[in-house]
Structure 1
Amino acid sequence: MSSTVAKAKGFKHSKPGLWLSIGSSAFGVVGIAKDVKKARLENDTLMLVNAVVGAVALVTGTALLVRELRQLGRDDVLLG
């Protein structure tokens, strides 16, 4: 079982794993867009602020994943 856990942890930091994470983040945009639309329709400032903070977190997380993907690409070139 420990080898399965190790493989899963390794997948998270592999190119396919990073692309999957970036793709999952893209689906988060849909939820945030719905929250923003609902907040505007209801004139709910607090809900709008919550959606904006969520959007910022999503953008930051995606930027971190892209940076890790680029670093992984650089490491592959150096090793290859």
Structure 2
Amino acid sequence: MAVTKTLRMIFLNQAGSRVTVSVDNPRDDIAQAEVQAAMDTIIAKNILTTSGGNLVAVDSARIVDVTTTDIISNA
């Protein structure tokens, strides 16, 4: 059984569409303030752009835990 964590930061772009940026294996002790600051920096510095334009606002952020259990493995 394997457990993976992903930080999903969701932004709004100029067209009003949601854009998700995923970071695998975030620190276990990551704080809300750190995520907010990172997202604000991504927006302020126009680090990413999309087909719908620049990122303009923070929508949400979450950590997703996924547990994978192999039923059949050829390993």
Higher helix share: 1
Structure having greater relative contact order (Cα 8 Å, sep ≥ 6): 2
Q: Same fold (TM over 0.5)?
A: no
TM-score between both structures, scaled by the size of structure 2: 0.31
TM-score between both structures, scaled by the size of structure 1: 0.29
Higher strand share: 2
Larger of the two Rg values belongs to structure? 1
